[in-house]
Amino acid sequence: MKKGADRRRSPRREVNKTAELIVCPASSRTAPIKVNIRDISATGVGVIHSEPLPLGQKYVVREPSIIPRSQPCLYTVVRADRVGDGKFSIGLHASHLMGLEVGEKTGRAKTAAMARLLILAMLTGGLIAVAWNFI
């Protein structure tokens, strides 16, 4: 069984930045949690914090200089391990893109789906026109 870095699905980039986590869903009394980001990848973020975060809890990560707008910013806590200095190493896995419904297509998949729909509409329109000529 693979362990540690060998299990990672995408390359990680080490960083040392302070960021804020906003619990999701948030309320008017929600206060940001300050954390230190230690690494980031296309599939997640590794942070260090003074307390563990609840597994399964979702957070929005706010740190615009390292998390671009094109990357998902909603993350789910998948691990919270105590490290030697009394802090916790927390793994956050990227959740669905915010603002998109489950199953909604993005990027190339959306373009391909729209092209198929356009072709289907043209074929259907052509068939209706041919059928109309025979009536």
**DSSP letter for each residue of 91-122:** EEEE-SPTT--TT---HHHHHHHHHHHHHHHH
22-71 pLDDT, tens digit each: 998 888 888 999 999 999 888 889 999 999 999 999 998 888 776 666 56
Phi and psi (nearest 5°) for 16? -140, 80
What does the CA dihedral 68, 69, 74, 76 come to, rounded to 10 degrees?
A: -20
What pLDDT score does 90 carry?
96
In this structure, of 6-10, 32-36, 75-79, 85-89, the range with the lowest mean pLDDT score is: 6-10
Segment 98-111 shows an average pLDDT of 52
Element containing residue 27 per DSSP (H, E) = none
pLDDT of 72 > 50? The answer is yes
User: Which range has the top average pLDDT, 46-50, 98-102, 106-110?
Assistant: 46-50
